[in-house]
Amino acid sequence: MKPFVFVLAARSAWNRRLTLGVTMAAVALSVLLLVGIERLREGARHGFAETVSGTDLIVGSRTSPVQLLLYAVFHVGAPTNNMGWAAFQAVAADPAVAWAVPVALGDSHRGFPVVGTSPGYFEHFRHGDGRALALAAGRRFDGLFEVVLGAEAAQRLGYAVGRRITLSHGTGEALLPEHADKPFVVTGILARTGTPVDRALHVSLESLEAIHLEWRGGAPVPGLVIPAEFVRKFDLSPKSVTAVLAGLHERTAVFAAQRRINAHAGEPLQAILPGVALDELWQVLGTAERVLVAVSALTAAIAIAGLVAVILAGLGERRRELAVLRATGARPRDIFALLTLEGLFVTVAGSAAGLALLLACALLFGDLLLARYGVALAAQSFAPSELARVGAIIAAGLVASMVPGLRAYRLAVADGLTPGS
Amino acid sequence: MDPAAAVDPAAAVDPAGAADAGDAVRIDALEFTWRAGLAPCLAIPALRIGAGERVFIQGMSGSGKSTLLNLVAGVAVPTRGSLRLFGHELGALGGAARDRLRGDHIGYIFQQFNLIPYLSAIDNVLLPVHFSARRRARARQQGASPRDAAIALLARLDIDAASGARRAAQLSIGQQQRVAAARALIGAPEIVIADEPTSALDSERQQAFLDLLMACCAAAGSALLFVSHDQRLAAGFDRQVRMEELNRAPRGPA
Ligand SMILES: Nc1ncnc2c1ncn2[C@@H]1O[C@H](COP(=O)(O)OP(=O)(O)O)[C@@H](O)[C@H]1O
Ligand SMILES: [Mg+2]
């Protein structure tokens, strides 16, 4: 092939930029999809892993590890069973355990989960590369009926320190019974973490006991009313928790500690390694991911098919052009290269545009995604796995573009210098 | 190896080097059929075209004029018999070598739609220079650079620099045909083939175009193989050939 054919193909493609531009946009969008999904997937895995990065063990009642991980850390789904306070104390007292923080779930406020915990939560919870929780405003909860908001919850609800709110019994968006007689006051708002902490409302375990004094088995006891000012006369020490987050002195002791806790004599407990549970979660989600990737690969195939159709459709009216090129010395293989290169250019330009689009999206919406979903869509350079996908699209575009290339080759040979005879 | 490399252009144009000294084209007992099984479209016992000769080939539409030109240009090969271009038997050469011979030695003007619409007139003129190193070298002898040669040729054919820079599609038919002539002439090929190049022009301009073309061919030393159905244009040629006499293939209803 003559290098000049390269120039010719570029100018020919530029000449037909309107028609080809549409197919280029289709290629760009499919690249955006295919690479964007990969980047979001990586971002999600990274973000989830960072959320549990400071926790060595999660302990709860017996259920599937993925389920325990989901409700204890991500506040998704509902626990089937709580564990008793004695069990929590047993975990905290394990010789390998450096710190243990209780997590009690079950209440919510306007769709945001309420997390009952101990002040140790603010000390020990780690996210990212070992960062601790920090307050953006106010202070931690101290006494009864005080609540510390995650950044996202505070922003979405428009709450500031000092605001009085009531919690609902149960989780979800449905109309829930309210703990209206015992309002909470916002004492602090946490800085953003990009983890589920941002969506949570944090209260003390004692506060949770207090608002459930007149509740038994998930429903208020008829006729029983205990005004807020009298709750201190009751025993507010925690009776049960949903799960325990624990850190160890030595990470190497994790399997021994896990075995000890699983064999706990009191009630049946289960200790899980968050990383292992996350892997299991990704395995479960793997099928959905593959479907997503398959669908976006299909859009890429459709975009390339459209490209081939457009170039083929234009070939009929270009037979004169091909004859002129033949007359000036072009060989059939030059004609083949001309048409193939045109398709390749569109694919390459479309891929570049798709990657640029992805970077633009990452710059525009990256912060939003990270804040709202804890998923990092980083505006970083491209990972090998991403470039491999782009390479696959370009390769597919090249192979597909050979179809009009071959057709033009045949036309050039058959027509000679008298096309259309 | 590129089979075209086997064709030595210097030897090819050296009159003393070839057996058929002086003949640019030499046809003997040629037969050509477009598709196997069809009746022959051309049957030519003999035709010789000398170097620098100006030959007018007259024939009705469908008489096989364009087919003959395709054969001389090496785009089609004889089904039987011999067609030699500067002594090279075209039927014995591979496609690449024939393409190379055409690019090196032949300038071609079509009836119309000669130009690549998305290139400027000058870039259209420069097309052969990109496909043939020989034409490139010879264009440099016509001007300081191939581009200068193209501009000079266009000026000679009454296309000013401003028109030369315009896209081909923006030129009038008459201008387009003159740009096509400049393209055929750049790098001074040994043969200029013109396939009814004036039939798209109005009659006053036909003779003017033909005069310019003949003058330019003479200046470049190129033979001119001019095909037309219009007998009135034959004046001024060295020789006239009638397809009806040249082609012995029985003309069926097609
Ligand atoms: N590329 C081609 N493929 C098949 N048949 C052709 C081709 N070009 C010309 N023919 C046929 O060859 C015959 C002679 O055509 P042509 O050489 O174009 O005549 P002219 O140029 O004298 O009008 C016609 O019957 C035409 O259909
Ligand atoms: Mg014709």
pLDDT digits (tens, 9 = 90+) for B76-111: 999 999 999 999 999 999 999 999 999 999 999 998
Any A CB within 8 A of B66 CB: yes
Longest dimension (CA), chain B: 53
**pLDDT score of A281 more than 50:** yes
- Distances from the Cα of A106 to the Cα of A65, A66, A115, B198, angstroms: 19, 18, 8, 92
Task: Give A-chain residues touching B104 at CB under 8 angstroms.
Answer: 329
**What does the pLDDT read at residue A173?**
63
Look at B44 and A49; give whichever has higher pLDDT: B44
**pLDDT score of A367 more than 50:** yes
Same domain, A166 and A106: yes
What's chain B's average pLDDT?
88
How many helices and strands in chain B, by DSSP H and E? 11, 9
Instruction: Measure the CA angle with vertex A308, ends A304 and A310; round to 5°.
Output: 115
- The domain locations on chain B are 52-78+95-246
What's chain A's average pLDDT?
88
Look at A400 and A209; give whichever has higher pLDDT: A400
A181-185, A352-356, B56-60: segment of lowest average pLDDT:
A181-185
How many helices and strands in chain A, by DSSP H and E? 12, 17
**pLDDT score of A3 more than 60:** yes
ipTM of the complex in this document: 0.89
Task: Give B-chain residues touching A325 at CB under 8 angstroms.
Answer: 116, 127
Which token pair is A321?
A: 């052009």
Distance from CA of B254 to the nearest CA of A (A): 12
> What band does A374 get if pLDDT is binned at 50, 70 and 90?
low
Q: Is A407 exposed, middle or buried (0-12, 13-18, 19+ CB in 10 A)?
A: middle
For residues A236-247, one letter each, b for 16 or more C-beta atoms within 10 angstroms of the residue's C-beta and e for the rest, the string is bebebbbbbbbb
Which token pair is B88?
A: 């090279």
**What does the pLDDT read at residue A217?**
66
A15-24, A40-49, A341-350, B228-237: segment of lowest average pLDDT:
A40-49
> Is A278 a member of any domain?
no
Distance from CA of A413 to the nearest CA of B (A): 8
Residues of chain B with pLDDT > 70, as a percent, come to 90
Average pLDDT estimate for B29-57:
92
Same domain, A174 and A205: yes
Cα A354 from Cα A27, distance rounded (Å): 7
Number of domains chain A contains: 2
B7-11, B69-73, B124-128, B140-144: segment of lowest average pLDDT:
B7-11
Which token pair is B210?
A: 């033909």
Same domain, A81 and A190: yes
**What does the pLDDT read at residue A372?**
66
Element (H, E) at A144: none
Cα A351 from Cα B68, distance rounded (Å): 47
Is pTM beyond 0.80? Reply is: no
DSSP state, residue A392: H
> Is A106 a member of any domain?
yes
Same domain, A30 and A119: no
Q: How far is CA A316 from the centre of its chain?
A: 48
End-to-end Cα, chain B, rounded Å: 42
Same domain, A299 and A254: no
> Is A280 a member of any domain?
no
Cα A73 from Cα A245, distance rounded (Å): 9
> Is A184 a member of any domain?
yes
Average pLDDT estimate for A248-255:
91
Q: How many CB atoms lie within 10 A of CB A349?
A: 17
**pLDDT score of A23 more than 70:** yes
> What digits encode the pLDDT tens for the residues A194-240?
888 998 999 999 998 888 877 776 677 777 777 777 777 788 888 88
Give the number of the atom of ligand 1 that is nearest the alpha carbon of residue B76: 1
A179-183, B39-43, B213-217: segment of lowest average pLDDT:
A179-183
What DSSP letter does each residue of A288-349 carry, written as one string?
Answer: HHHHHHHHHHHHHHHHHHHHHHHHHHHHGGGHHHHHHHHHTT--HHHHHHHHHHHHHHHHHH
Average pLDDT estimate for B211-232:
92
Q: Measuring CA to CA, which residue among A110, A87, A113 is closest to residue A100?
A: A87
Same domain, A251 and A180: yes
Average pLDDT estimate for A349-362:
93
Task: Give A-chain residues touching B99 at CB under 8 angstroms.
Answer: 326, 329-332
Which token pair is B246?
A: 């040249």
Same domain, A236 and A371: no
Q: Is A268 in the pocket of ligand 1 (CB under 6 A)?
A: no
Q: Which ligand is nearest to the CA of A419?
A: 1
Cα A317 from Cα B48, distance rounded (Å): 36
Q: Measuring CA to CA, which residue among A14, A4, A66 is closest to residue A272?
A: A66
Which CATH class for the B52-78+95-246 domain?
Answer: alpha beta
Cα B108 from Cα B41, distance rounded (Å): 22
Q: Measuring CA to CA, which residue among A317, A295, A308 is closest to residue A347?
A: A308
**pLDDT score of B18 more than 70:** no
- Residues 6 or more apart in contact with residue A211 via CB below 8 angstroms: A107, A167, A179, A182
Same domain, A144 and A290: no
- Residues 6 or more apart in contact with residue A355 via CB below 8 angstroms: A31, A35, A382, A390
**What does the pLDDT read at residue A172?**
66
For residues A278-303, one letter each, b for 16 or more C-beta atoms within 10 angstroms of the residue's C-beta and e for the rest, the string is beebeeeeeeeeeebbeebbebbeeb
Average pLDDT estimate for A129-137:
88
DSSP state, residue A94: S
**pLDDT score of A74 more than 90:** no
> Is A256 a member of any domain?
yes
CA atoms within 13 Å, Cβ hemisphere of B193: 26
Same domain, A61 and A43: no
A162-176, A210-224, A320-334: segment of lowest average pLDDT:
A210-224
**pLDDT score of A330 more than 90:** yes
> What digits encode the pLDDT tens for the residues B137-193?
999 988 889 999 999 999 999 999 999 999 998 999 999 999 999 999 999 999 999
A332-341, B7-16, B140-149, B240-249: segment of lowest average pLDDT:
B7-16
> Is A324 a member of any domain?
yes
**What are A393's strand-pairing partners?**
none
Pick from A12, A329, A418: CB nearest B128: A329
Cα A1 from Cα A5, distance rounded (Å): 7
Cα B83 from Cα B144, distance rounded (Å): 36
Q: Measuring CA to CA, which residue among A62, A119, A54 is closest to residue A87?
A: A62
CA atoms within 13 Å, Cβ hemisphere of B59: 24
> What band does A354 get if pLDDT is binned at 50, 70 and 90?
very high
- Residues 6 or more apart in contact with residue B193 via CB below 8 angstroms: B69, B72, B73, B106, B107, B108, B109, B184, B225, B227
> What digits encode the pLDDT tens for the residues A36-60?
888 888 888 888 888 888 899 999 9
In the listed set A245, A272, A299, which residue is the last one of a domain according to the structure? A272
**What does the pLDDT read at residue B1?**
41
* A14/B118 CB distance under 8 A: yes
In the listed set A272, A304, A326, which residue is the last one of a domain according to the structure? A272
Tell me which range, A184-188, A210-214, B232-236, is most confidently predicted by mean pLDDT. A184-188
Interface of A with B in 314-373 (CB under 8 A): 320-321, 323-332, 334
Calculate the dihedral angle through the C-alpha atoms of B90, B96, B101, B104, rounding to the nearest 10 degrees.
Answer: 170
Same domain, A167 and A264: yes
Quote helix, strand, coil % in chain B, to nearest 5: 45, 20, 35
* A417/B70 CB distance under 8 A: yes
**pLDDT score of B12 more than 50:** no
- What does residue A178 show for φ and ψ, rounded to 5 degrees? -100, 150
Give the number of the atom of ligand 1 that is nearest the alpha carbon of residue A415: 1
Same domain, A8 and A103: no
Cα B254 from Cα B248, distance rounded (Å): 15
Same domain, A297 and A165: no
Per the CB < 8 A criterion, the answer to whether A167 and A105 are in contact is no
Q: Measuring CA to CA, which residue among B34, B37, B15 is closest to residue B26?
A: B15
> What band does A401 get if pLDDT is binned at 50, 70 and 90?
very high
A420 CA distance to ligand 2 centroid (A)?
Answer: 11
Any A CB within 8 A of B76 CB: yes
**pLDDT score of B136 more than 50:** yes
**What does the pLDDT read at residue B17?**
40
- Distances from the Cα of B97 to the Cα of A271, B91, B184, B192, angstroms: 79, 11, 20, 19
**What does the pLDDT read at residue B8?**
46
Cα A361 from Cα A375, distance rounded (Å): 14
Q: Which domain holds residue A195?
A: 57-272
Pick from A11, A334, A416: CB nearest B70: A416
In the listed set A244, A272, A300, which residue is the last one of a domain according to the structure? A272
